[in-house]
Structures are given as C-alpha cells and as structure tokens.
Amino acid sequence: MKLIIIGAGPGGYETAVAAAKKGIEVTIISDGPVGGTCLNEGCIPTKSFCRNAEVLEDLAKGETFGLENLSYRFDFQKVLCRKNQVVEQLRQGVEFLLGGKGITLIHGKASFKDAKTVVVDGKEIAGDNIIIATGSYSASLPIPGADLADVITSKEILDIEEVPQRLCVIGAGVIGLEFASIFKSFGSDVKVVEFCKEILPRFDTDLAKRLKQALGKRGIEIETSAGVQSIEKTSAGLKVTYLKKEQTFEVIADKVLMAVGRRPSVNAVNLADVGIEFTPKGIVVDKDMQTNVPGIYAIGDVTGGYMLAHVATFQGMRALAAMTGEPCDVDLSIVPAAVFTNPEAACVGKTEDEMKAAGVPVKCLKSFFRANGKALSMDEPEGFVKLVVAGDGAEGYKPGQILGCHLFGAHSADIVQEIAALMNHQATLEEFKSIIHAHPTLGEVLSSAAHSA
C-alpha cells in the first residue's frame, strides 16, 4: 500500500512512522519544519520556557529553602537559547525517524491533482490512501489595532527579544494562561482579559475558579466577562480597550498577546478541488477519520475538535487501522489534557457541569494538595482534585464508574494519566480504592479524593 501524508506535525510524523513499521510505503510532505506547531512553535518551546519560569519561582522562595541573600541575574537570551536547543534536538530526532526505511520526506507545498494524486513542485505522487494533517493557525480578533507590530501570537512570543515590562494577554484559554504564568515568572506585569465569565471555558468551573485564585495570588490580574474592543498605539504604550458590564476600561501594555483560539488550516490544500467536505471549523470526518472522499483521511487540528498533539497522533492510529482493516482499541473520547501554568492544571473525561446538564446523576469526590505530605514537603500546598463518578441510577454506566478527573497543583499533568488509564478500562471508584499508591507521593491526592466518600 502507498500512503501520502500531508503535514509532518505529531499527527503526520507519528502516523508515518507507524505506517512504515507495517510495511506501508509512505511519502510525507511538509512545507514547514518537521514536528509542526507542537515541536516548533507550541508545546515543546513553551515547556522549555515553563521550566525556566519554574526555576525562577523556586528561587523566589529561596528563604523557605534556607537560601539567604540569594542574588542572581536573569539572562533571557540564555532562556531563548536553551529553548532553541531543545527544539533543534527534537527536530533532528524527528528528521531521523522520517529518514527511516519505507518513508520518503519531501519538503514543499502539496496540492491535490485528483483524489489519488498529490503534486509537489510539479512532481506527481500517487497514493492508495492520503492523510491530511495540516494543523491550525492562531486566530485573531477583527478589531482595530489587531495588526499592530507589538500585537503578537503564541508563535512570535517564543522569539521575543526581551521580556516586556507590561504584557496584556487577550484570552484566558490554555495558551493565554500558560504565557501569562510564564511571563509573570520572567518579571512582566501581566493582565489577562477574557471574554467569558470564567477562565478556561471548556474546563470544570470549580477547577477554573480555584486556578484563577491561585494565579491571582501570584499577582496575575485576570479580568473576566470582558470583551476587547480595540488596541491603539499611544505614547504610553499599547492601549487595550475592553468592555465589561457596559463600561469601558483600558490596559496599557508594551506587548499584547492574542490568544483567542486557533483555526483549522483548511485552506492549506485545495480540498474543494477534490470534493472534500469542510467548514471553517474543520474537515468533516467519520469515526475512522475518513473524509467524505473514500481513501482520504484527515487528522489533528485541521479536523477541529480537540486541538492537542496527542489527539492528532491517536487519530492517525485510527485512520491507519481503518485503511489496513486492523482492529483499533483507541478510545478517542478519553483525552487527558494539561495546562502548564504554575501551578499546573489537568483534566480527563466528563465535567460535573456537563453531566448535570445531560441529566446524569454523578458523585464528586474532592481532596486538597495542602493535606498531602509530599506536596507540603515540596512547598506546593496549592491545589485540588475532583473525581467525577457515576451516581445512583446513572444509565449506561457501571455503578461508581469513574467518568472524569479535574485537578490543579504541582505535577497535575502527570497525575491525571492514572485516571485516564483507568477510564480506558471502565474502572469504578471501588476498584480504584483498592489500588495501593506509594507514599509519600503527589498521586496520593487521587486516593485521598476516592477515600473521601
């Protein structure tokens, strides 16, 4: 079988490697550096920044750890350098993988000639199946001033020359909050302006409220229910005007980060020419990630939905299984996600609000990091966890089945994985309660919540 993959992000390149292992002849085409948004201008460089931010936060607590009269100089150029090295090392790793047996990597812009043929720089490539994995791009607001030079996206902020003294972040979604948290640690005065009434609109509201408080304690100002109207260059800096409860407010900043969502790159290839159905929200796919054109699949951000690297990868596995006729056990509805703020937040599965809205009775069990020995030893008392389990009479679920987990606190992104694993096996609260957790570990916050009933 010959497979063409358009896009070499975590959806495209992981699928290429997995397909080649099955003996499929793969051609992968990329018009940008391999690794896509995640590796080059998303998850990885951001996490490199996060680590620098974390070290600075620890140093700021120096006296707590017996470090008195500590003095240091923060060299932002070295932060950029380290970030670039991390990205480069991983990019070389991906290039190595794509140089493996059975894979041809082509740099260039792909377009469809017909439903079985793709053209790159005049060269025609034929495939039995084609996967579109063209990703997404940062959205902007249609407001005056959105195109000013100092109004930047999550891509440009990763290569910013110096730490802005005043940073205004538009949007308290995942990207907005991660950069708000990072640049606060780097020394900026940070103000976040969010349109919805709570931060992280798609997360558990209880979690969002508590995380907002925790970020507030660090001095990150977050204004919710506030719609940005315009940005203007003034002698004092960029003036961001927003409307809240019919009143107008202003923030003055040196840089403005536009973090109001991402849009699927549906215009990256000529989809309409081969009759592929799509909307501005993404390419339309079935449960196997196949488009309306047989043999053409789409995975990752370009399909809309969860815009997460790991989702793209597993959607690729689903598409691969569909084209080879092999079974696929991947449950694409159980998706752990993390927000790398300080403290971190993470979630998997259903929220309490979602289940209540659907009329499904649930029970919620909570615990707090401040009651966890390891968290206190680490001086990380801030955090909370909520487990959502099926309540009495929840139709379609086992009694006490674990339906979701929502938490914030140190290492939340790692802690949530356990619940994701258990949810994949439809584990119940009682089954979870019998699992021994090592002591003292942060993971015990989960068993504390489970035993709180």
Q: x/- site string to ligand NAD, residues 90 to 129, per CB under 6 A?
A: ----------------------------------------
Q: For ligand NAD, which is the closer residue by CB, 106 or 335?
A: 335
Q: For ligand NAD, which is the closer residue by CB, 131 or 260?
A: 260
Q: Which of 308, 348, 394, 416 binds ligand NAD (CB under 6 A)?
A: 308
* Closest residue to ligand NAD: CB criterion: 173
User: Segment contacting ligand NAD (CB under 6 A): 62-70, 165-173, 284-292, 383-391?
Assistant: 165-173
Q: Hey, which residues are catalytic here? A: 439
| 168 in contact with ligand NAD (CB under 6 A) | no
| 172 in contact with ligand NAD (CB under 6 A) | yes
Alpha helices (H) along 61-134: 76-98
Q: What are the C-alpha distances in Å from 273 to residues 246, 263, 350?
A: 46, 21, 39
Min separation Cβ 301 and ligand NAD, Å: 8
| 259 in contact with ligand NAD (CB under 6 A) | yes
Calpha distance 382→211 (Å, rounded): 9
Q: For ligand NAD, which is the closer residue by CB, 94 or 312?
A: 312
| 260 in contact with ligand NAD (CB under 6 A) | yes
| 261 in contact with ligand NAD (CB under 6 A) | yes
Quick check: 379 and 413 in contact, CB under 8 A? Answer: no
| 196 in contact with ligand NAD (CB under 6 A) | yes
Give Cβ neighbours of residue 101 (< 8 Å, ≥ 6 apart).
20
How many residues make up the chain in this entry? 453
2-6 vs 129-132, strand pairing mode: parallel
Give Cβ neighbours of residue 313 (< 8 Å, ≥ 6 apart).
10, 11, 14, 15
Q: For ligand NAD, which is the closer residue by CB, 179 or 384?
A: 179
Quick check: 305 and 287 in contact, CB under 8 A? Answer: no
217 C-beta neighbours (distance < 10 Å), count: 9
Q: For ligand NAD, which is the closer residue by CB, 192 or 317?
A: 192
Quick check: 323 and 3 in contact, CB under 8 A? Answer: yes
Q: Which of 3, 17, 79, 174 binds ligand NAD (CB under 6 A)?
A: 174
Q: x/- site string to ligand NAD, residues 133 to 152, per CB under 6 A?
A: --------x-----------
282-283 vs 278-279, strand pairing mode: antiparallel
Q: 329-340 burial, b for 16+ CB within 10 Å, e for fewer?
A: eeeeeebbbbbb
Contact footprint for ligand NAD (CB under 6 A):
141, 170-176, 178, 193-196, 201, 227-228, 259-262, 307-308, 337-340
